[in-house]
Structure 1
């Protein structure tokens, strides 16, 4: 089993990074704004990563649009998901924009040989400081409809979908990057409201992967969702019937800190049910995971392969792809109107 997704420091790989990319526990790399100067440099970095990994590796990024868009110069400016419904004249227009935005996002990343953007956000816009306009709507049914259209756009380009942050981060104010959010609402409120987009999209077989939140839902379990067998095994797998990949949110976030050090967090996340774990922005801590994690369960190469992009879907260069050009124009017009 290769469960670890790591980050890299800059525009090129360091000697240390070249060495650890070939470690038998490394399944992928997540890129950030610090890894991007221009498109040519980004493509060369991705090529380096694949060369030194010596096996199939998932190259990923958070590239949702709005304030969470890691690459800018040379990439289409993507609207925030929340703006699609608030600035559209109809649901039909919003759905078209969601599909177009996802297709442009996915196709431009795939053109740089990047497999996966961790999207869409399925949280319902509520009181959360970190979610806000990253969510499609304050209405659970609108979130489901818009996310479904967004996933269609991703899949049309050849990219797998990752629903986050299960079972919903929108109803807690604190940011799990810097705090441990606690949601004290009843299980009934969470199941019938926040979790509904996840449940509906799982039922319709739309989601390839799910990223659980670092939120404690105190009336359900004492552990944050990403470390909770209750949430990942009993609810996500058994109750909802999810059979895809479970990818942890970054275990370096403060919301994961009370589980212990990074190695303990990795062990607990895997034990709870995570197939892949993100360990970012703390290279020494990530190395303790590679040095200390003992994996004895089944190989997950098939799961890794299922998340790699289907680059055959984009057989033409972007400039010759009519749907990309039409979708991009739709977004540019939308951005200008906003």
Structure 2
């Protein structure tokens, strides 16, 4: 059984409190941050310890490349997505092939550690407005984002990892950082069409989607996308036909803070249509939600549990040293050097 909450842990190993929390039915996922990584051996052991407590828990990380790569030491240094097309030109390689290589490398390396998913790709168009997106985005226009991200997702899938596109329906049109405040995108509907087209064209390749903590006033003036039935149920599920897993973005972000207590935010996210709820870097908030009745009153459905289960790593499970000895890893490593 998968619970709807994904939480974090504080350090390199589990505490007694961590173990007790992970064992609870409500906890279905663990997300890692830089502070959780000391070495390949250590993080692999941490994954094993977590699975000793709950074997089927979903283990995640933000391992996009560039400035959002939680594990740096000992793993391949992945370039920011927005720099890879230029890198391909410099190396006289096909950009699509290089993006596929990068997707495969992220999947293969993190999968070898015991991790199920990296929350990637970032599908926001880099319009030059949002510093928090910037070169995390694949390109400055929808056509190239679609082309490059499609190849990247193919690489992820080849490596055995599911894709999780973010930040639906597009975070690239706002200046504000949703980690620090609630961004407001007041563009008219026609101006958001290009952002939406990225998700529409890639929808059949996307296994998971993470909505933005952004308020799109022309569509739902009261709720950011992650709390919006319009965005998640009408647009994403009904109109775009998305059947995969919807992950909330972190409810601890300031972009979500105006929407009540953590229990209230959790309820809004579930009722809007999120399958799994992220609460990170705030253990008191996790306890608040667990001690409330919100998860009993909004019980996770069997369909949501199936969706979460579908995000598990499906590649060949092998140790990192075994991966490094493969010709595939060595060839991709050389192309990225």
- In the other structure, the counterpart of 1:44 is 45
- In the other structure, the counterpart of 1:31 is 32
SS of corresponding position for 1:71: coil
**Does the 8 A contact of 1:31 with 1:61 survive in 2?**
yes
2:153 pairs with one of 151, 157, 161:
151
SS of corresponding position for 1:259: coil
- In the other structure, the counterpart of 1:317 is 322
- In the other structure, the counterpart of 1:89 is 89
Flag the 1:22–1:313 CA change in 2: closer, same or farther, 3 A. Answer: closer
**Does the 8 A contact of 1:11 with 1:42 survive in 2?**
yes
- In the other structure, the counterpart of 2:207 is 208
Please tell me whether residue 296 in structure 1 is matched to residue 295 in structure 2.
no
Query: What is the distance in 1 between the residues matched to 2:165 and 2:88?
Result: 23
**Does the 8 A contact of 1:103 with 1:324 survive in 2?**
no
Query: What is the distance in 2 between the residues matched to 1:169 and 1:313?
Result: 34
* Structure 2 residues not aligned, in runs of 5+: none
**Does the 8 A contact of 2:119 with 2:165 survive in 1?**
yes
**Does the 8 A contact of 2:4 with 2:300 survive in 1?**
no
Query: What is the distance in 2 between the residues matched to 1:7 and 1:143?
Result: 30
Using the TM superposition, give the Cα deviation of residue 304 of structure 1 relative to its aligned residue in structure 2, in angstroms.
Answer: 2.2
Query: What is the distance in 2 between the residues matched to 1:253 and 1:19?
Result: 25
Cα deviation digits, residues 60-82 of structure 1 (max 9, x gap): 00000000000011100000000
Using the TM superposition, give the Cα deviation of residue 310 of structure 1 relative to its aligned residue in structure 2, in angstroms.
Answer: 0.6
Cα deviation digits, residues 298-318 of structure 1 (max 9, x gap): 223322220000133769921
- In the other structure, the counterpart of 1:167 is 169
Cα deviation digits, residues 13-48 of structure 1 (max 9, x gap): 111111000111111000000000111111111111
TM-score, scaled to structure 1: 0.94
Using the TM superposition, give the Cα deviation of residue 320 of structure 1 relative to its aligned residue in structure 2, in angstroms.
Answer: 3.1
Q: Tell me whether 2-11 or 291-300 shows the greater mean CA deviation.
A: 291-300
Query: What is the distance in 2 between the residues matched to 1:301 and 1:268?
Result: 18
Query: What is the distance in 1 between the residues matched to 2:299 and 2:274?
Result: 15
- In the other structure, the counterpart of 2:139 is 137
Please tell me whether residue 328 in structure 1 is matched to residue 330 in structure 2.
no
Using the TM superposition, give the Cα deviation of residue 2 of structure 1 relative to its aligned residue in structure 2, in angstroms.
Answer: 1.4
**Does the 8 A contact of 1:158 with 1:310 survive in 2?**
yes
Matches within 5 A, 1:163-312: 163-190=165-192, 192-202=193-203, 205-222=204-221, 223-292=223-292, 293-294=295-296, 295-299=298-302, 300-312=304-316
Cα deviation digits, residues 75-94 of structure 1 (max 9, x gap): 00000000012343299622
Query: What is the distance in 2 between the residues matched to 1:218 and 1:86?
Result: 36
SS of corresponding position for 1:111: helix
Query: What is the distance in 1 between the residues matched to 2:272 and 2:252?
Result: 17
- In the other structure, the counterpart of 1:336 is none
Query: What is the distance in 2 between the residues matched to 1:285 and 1:75?
Result: 32
Query: What is the distance in 1 between the residues matched to 2:255 and 2:328?
Result: 40
- In the other structure, the counterpart of 2:64 is 64
**Does the 8 A contact of 1:157 with 1:313 survive in 2?**
no
Matched length:
328
TM-score, scaled to structure 2: 0.94
Q: Tell me whether 305-314 or 276-285 shows the greater mean CA deviation.
A: 305-314
SS of corresponding position for 1:64: strand
Query: What is the distance in 2 between the residues matched to 1:87 and 1:312?
Result: 29
Query: What is the distance in 1 between the residues matched to 2:194 and 2:324?
Result: 42
**Does the 8 A contact of 1:158 with 1:314 survive in 2?**
no
**Does the 8 A contact of 1:263 with 1:288 survive in 2?**
yes
Using the TM superposition, give the Cα deviation of residue 260 of structure 1 relative to its aligned residue in structure 2, in angstroms.
Answer: 0.6
* Structure 1 residues not aligned, in runs of 5+: 333-338
Query: What is the distance in 1 between the residues matched to 2:20 and 2:57?
Result: 15
